[in-house]
Structure 1
């Protein structure tokens, strides 16, 4: 029996999809490895659309722009199966029988046995409640950073009755932005000589971008930095707080001040006196995968007008003075199913060349980032737009 790996939205129950336990010895190692990959799609899936393609895409005719990373299509099926006690128990029995069989064989790839063993731990552990815990590792090239920036995150199941519970999941755009911060922190204004830095994350969700930023800032010795991660929904905020605490334990002196707060994009611009820490502007604002309704860009602009600082800071290096302008870094997927929503960014924010002579927020730069869709379909990619948005006029401190 050969398992055809499908998209999670098409996943069948393990009790139906897997070969019978008694027939395990009759399967080839390749077929058994496919079974393990199938179970991993349920109990420890990768974040789809997050593997960046570095080399240029030469043959555009062979590229397929996928729309299959929408906010609810491929996650709910895996969530439902992961939380199914019967299917989990069946998967545990099947994996235990597989490990017992593989342990008696010679010349079995060690990775195959390790993968099966690790899945047993996942099925018996956090995944038993439908919860998914992942370890992320982003390469860092800066001399003052460790080789990788490592983050451990927990996703909680989507609420099938609440479309907005998507913030409880980690999405590809957050991986793309966190990776960019780890690779080149200076381009985000994260440099050792900068003090009292204030960083805000909008729509933080599981907190990947903000937590990765906190680890970069900590490693660079920017001990006066304050990071504020925000979201709107209580269930998302509760999980966000837990993720922050697991990466920055309260009883450890990490040197990073990290807060989590509720932020209502629609109401905030009208608040007369916002409560701390949202009562002062921020030097850097970050956002990933946060535009999926037509009104979001307008609401975000209203928040930025109050929360993005209008003052640049000058740093003195050995060779020159470096001026760092406050910037909003935004990564959004370019998917057909949300084309109208994502296009509102360039409707709401003019480019620098289109800006009038009055102070306003403008698009200072835009890049396209291409990632493998992670669907198993050859040539299927996801494109992200990376915007840098700032004031067309800033004051020096």
Structure 2
């Protein structure tokens, strides 16, 4: 069976020595050093989200052929072989230390190194924090330069929090660009991920966040159509809120793109990054650190702040339609936002209801002038994975944010309606656009899953919803 390690003549099964009889510790240390080099992952990882490199597959297609699937299975075998060898080294070294036969201290060093590598091969929950640099824009798109290679899907030894899509290739265009220069004009964001043990889901940059950050950079006019190139008079600041920010990649991407669009000369923008899930203080502290780390990427006209936000505060009280005053005081008209952003926000039953309450309490109502199709309307952009294990949660989202053309919109439940006190009009939130993508799950499978190459590479289907107010008549 072939694999990338075999092709490079670095397959662990080819060079790791047998442990019966027990080899000298110096030989074990040499093998550990070679294994560490083969599976090394830098503490700072580069993730290329630029439009010229980052690409997604259409649903129902796979980016890998049969030979690549075989290659992944070969990699999984080598990974399993290396882990088993390390576990045996730990056992042998521990016995040698217990017998006091380590005059040179080599067995102690071998045990320490084997334990470190074994933890490194165990995935994000066993590692320390990691810092990733996300590239968003290049000069070819008017806002940075191509890399020698797109950031590769990481080996199964150390699944990264976010793996980018494969580059577009075609007979006419060939692979993605091959230049290694990263221009100073490139738009880059530095994001710290903690471990899954550190603060649950909020310390991880999930796959949906990479998708939405890429789309924000690739098509800014799709999200910020209200920004006029030459407004006749200064306009009020554009207000953007990211719900469940986690590490803040999407909110920071929005802020950086707005800065590049020159929003500062058009009234400016305020971008609020929020969270309030498990262990919120740890998540918010990390979020503020990521905001500080990216201050240079955001111009003076865009103000970014971090706030704790509890979605439960926006659940309407009573059984009837919820006028604005029946919701949290924080949802007054002055506190509402033109744009809401959210990714990977529904992974338990009941969360969709809380999310709906927060979105309904925080998204600005349409103004009379925004009824025209050429005028931007307040919008909630929601990106979610379509996981077979979360079918109930996906169904909840579809029920609470139905398509504008579905029958459910005609007679919405009373608790889903909201009345704008300024106009007296009643609205409900509906999905006016739905895009389905195939991208990386953020985890790389350690072997065959029975679903072909896409599953072996840890790919998932995602949907991106554009949600707006629809008047209830």
Q: TM above 0.5, one fold?
A: yes
Match of 1:154?
Answer: 192
Task: Please tell me whether residue 329 in structure 1 is matched to residue 381 in structure 2.
Answer: yes
Task: Please tell me whether residue 301 in structure 1 is matched to residue 356 in structure 2.
Answer: yes
Say which of 230, 244, 248 aligns to 1:207.
248
User: Gaps spanning 5+ residues in structure 1: where?
Assistant: 5-18, 26-31, 65-85, 95-118, 120-126
Say which of 162, 167, 183 aligns to 2:202.
167
Secondary structure of 1:254 counterpart: coil
Task: Find the aligned partners of 1:249 and 1:197 in 2 and give their Cα distance.
Answer: 20
Task: Find the aligned partners of 1:262 and 1:88 in 2 and give their Cα distance.
Answer: 44
Match of 1:82?
Answer: none
Match of 2:437?
Answer: 369
Residue by residue over 1:111-155, the C-alpha shift from the partner in whole angstroms, topping out at 9 and shown as x without a partner, is xxxxxxxx9xxxxxxx99922111111245885524643110111
304-313 vs 223-232, which moves further: 304-313
Larger Rg: 2
Give, in angstroms, the shift of residue 287 of structure 1. Answer: 0.3
Residue by residue over 1:71-108, the C-alpha shift from the partner in whole angstroms, topping out at 9 and shown as x without a partner, is xxxxxxxxxxxxxxx999628999xxxxxxxxxxxxxx
Q: Structure 2-normalised TM-score? A: 0.56
Q: 1:37 to 1:257 in 2, by over 3 A?
A: farther
Match of 1:90?
Answer: 113
Match of 2:405?
Answer: 353
Say which of 267, 281, 287 aligns to 2:342.
287
Give, in angstroms, the shift of residue 182 of structure 1. Answer: 0.3
Task: Find the aligned partners of 2:219 and 2:362 in 1 and give their Cα distance.
Answer: 24
Aligned length: 311
- The answer as to whether partners of 2:273 and 2:305 remain within 8 angstroms in 1 is yes
Say which of 113, 130, 153 aligns to 2:128.
130
Secondary structure of 1:159 counterpart: helix
Q: 1:179 to 1:299 in 2, by over 3 A?
A: same
Cα RMSD (Å) of the superposition? 4.2
- The answer as to whether partners of 2:137 and 2:143 remain within 8 angstroms in 1 is no
Q: 1:192 to 1:244 in 2, by over 3 A?
A: farther
Match of 2:11?
Answer: 2
Task: Find the aligned partners of 2:432 and 2:373 in 1 and give their Cα distance.
Answer: 21
Task: Find the aligned partners of 2:399 and 2:110 in 1 and give their Cα distance.
Answer: 47
Secondary structure of 2:349 counterpart: coil
Secondary structure of 1:353 counterpart: coil
Q: 1:36 to 1:340 in 2, by over 3 A?
A: farther
- The answer as to whether partners of 2:213 and 2:249 remain within 8 angstroms in 1 is yes
Give, in angstroms, the shift of residue 259 of structure 1. Answer: 1.1
Give, in angstroms, the shift of residue 304 of structure 1. Answer: 1.6
Secondary structure of 2:197 counterpart: coil
Residue by residue over 1:238-274, the C-alpha shift from the partner in whole angstroms, topping out at 9 and shown as x without a partner, is 1001100110169x96321111101111123457653
Q: 1:275 to 1:249 in 2, by over 3 A?
A: farther
Task: Find the aligned partners of 1:61 and 1:219 in 2 and give their Cα distance.
Answer: 36
Task: Please tell me whether residue 53 in structure 1 is matched to residue 80 in structure 2.
Answer: no
Q: 1:177 to 1:90 in 2, by over 3 A?
A: same
